[in-house]
Structure 1
Amino acid sequence: MQLPICQEIELQLQGSVLHLTLNRPQARNAMNLALVQEVMSVFDAIAERRDIRAVVLRGSEGNFCAGGDIKDMASARQAYQQGQVDPLFELNRAFGRMITQVNNAPQVVITLLEGAVLGGGLGLACIADIAIADINAQFGLPETSLGLPPAQIAPFVVDRIGLTQARRLVLTGARFNGYEARELGLVHFVSDSPEKMDALLEQQLQQIRCCAPEANRITKALLLSVGKIEHEALLDQAAAQFSAAVMGEEGVEGTQAFVEKRAARWAQSA
């Protein structure tokens, strides 16, 4: 399936890696409904693309994402006052559907976090398989200071850093930098320069290329199923997947490459 043509985001496919850049620099890449829908259309298009093994999310011109676009909220409020059926609900839920879709993507999702990482931007950081932050990035959940709950974001924040820390951050609107984000377990790596961030990204991509794409897809789905499927049923499902993998193309190639002391085909062709 071809990648969609987008206005609010930029797409660049480099080999097996899709670079997706939020491109609303005039609003610090705050998310409006059009941007949310474009991100969803991209992840719809790549859901079955086994040739795309990683997606790198970042923002343009030094900011990752400043959250939701206040102008969109104001327009939805006006529409609600004019009698439309709760456009504010639909606006909010659209973001929730988008972040859930990105969370469940079969590809490895990497976020590069610079500048503003606020509200919904922090929510996106929370669903990254690998998150790399600039030390001076500004993280925060300012919703309650605006009289709003972080409605679609809160569950992902709790999953990422735990209830104790989530309560403090959400109920105070605290701001924090890349170092504290790493201490909280929100991000994995911290960079002190664009060059180091690029080097960290390439290091992670090289490691991903060494892993079989279908095995990664199955493994990610398994990890996301923990706590959502009954324990023994999940282990039964995992055993069936393991058996199929051993007999499958990747399992045969991987074990043969190991015996022959060579790189597997997916690593050679990356």
Structure 2
Amino acid sequence: VFGLACCSDVVILHASARFGVPEPKVGFIPSQIVPFLVRRLGEGPVRDLAVTGRVIDAGEAHHLGVGRYLCATAEEVEATLDGLLDDILKMEPEALAVAKRLVLSCATKEDRAVLDDAAESLVGLLRRPQAAEGIRHFMAKTQPPWAKRQA
């Protein structure tokens, strides 16, 4: 679950969540998740967890950046999820996919290459009819047709 959380775009933590890197305790390594943990949390916290076998609670996981949203109850998790879905479903799908690729590329490319790719992606998106339509709706303070849910 720890690795999956660190691969996810958006993570909601319930207060009862616990995370750790127990593999070295039983004689092997967390080879499949460590790259994602390091990318999300940084080398220091992951090294600490790997060499100590310590388990962290949801509060510390939130502080380290495992999840952005920390909820005390199941009801709060549901309400947070509903709000996030409302936000995400208002995004134009292709622009959302390109934005996600751009963010992910920042971790693997040099700054200049990221900026070049970002400019190229922006020009490509602005040439689409959805861009003009989105701008019209923004200026008119109305929802574009791809906004599937209302907050």
Shift of residue 171, structure 1, vs aligned partner: 1.1
Shift of residue 258, structure 1, vs aligned partner: 1.4
**Residue pairs, 1:170-209, within 5 angstroms:** 170-209=50-89
Q: Which amino acid aligns with 2:11?
A: A
Tell whether 2:22 aligns with 1:142: yes
Q: Which runs of 5+ in 2 are unaligned?
A: none
Aligned length: 149
Equivalent residue number for residue 165 of structure 1: 45
**Residue pairs, 1:63-74, within 5 angstroms:** none
Equivalent residue number for residue 133 of structure 1: 13
Q: Which amino acid aligns with 1:232?
A: R
TM-score when normalising by structure 2: 0.93
Q: Which amino acid aligns with 1:265?
A: P
| Moved beyond 3 Å, runs of 4+ | none
Q: For 2:110 and 2:45, how far apart are their aligned partners in 1?
A: 27
Cα deviation, 1:219-248, whole Å, max 9, x if unaligned, reads 111111114233323222211111111121
**Using a 3 Å threshold, how does the CA distance of structure 1 residues 230 and 180 change in structure 2: closer, same or farther?**
closer
Shift of residue 156, structure 1, vs aligned partner: 0.6
Q: For 1:160 and 1:148, how far apart are their aligned partners in 2?
A: 22
**Residue pairs, 1:80-99, within 5 angstroms:** none
Q: Which amino acid aligns with 2:87?
A: Q
Q: Tell me the secondary structure at the aligned position of residue 146 of structure 2.
A: helix
Q: Which amino acid aligns with 1:181?
A: A
**Using a 3 Å threshold, how does the CA distance of structure 1 residues 123 and 240 change in structure 2: closer, same or farther?**
same
Tell whether 2:106 aligns with 1:226: yes
TM-score when normalising by structure 1: 0.53
Larger fraction in strand: 1
Shift of residue 142, structure 1, vs aligned partner: 0.6
Quote the sequence identity (%): 35
CA RMSD of aligned residues (A): 1.3
Equivalent residue number for residue 92 of structure 1: none
Q: For 1:194 and 1:141, how far apart are their aligned partners in 2?
A: 25
Tell whether 2:135 aligns with 1:255: yes
Q: Which runs of 5+ in 1 are unaligned?
A: 1-120
Larger fraction in helix: 2
Q: For 1:227 and 1:176, how far apart are their aligned partners in 2?
A: 25
Equivalent residue number for residue 82 of structure 1: none
Q: Tell me the secondary structure at the aligned position of residue 125 of structure 1.
A: helix
Q: Which moved more, 1:191-200 or 1:230-239?
A: 230-239
Tell whether 2:117 aligns with 1:237: yes
Contact 1:253 1:265 in 2 (8 A): no
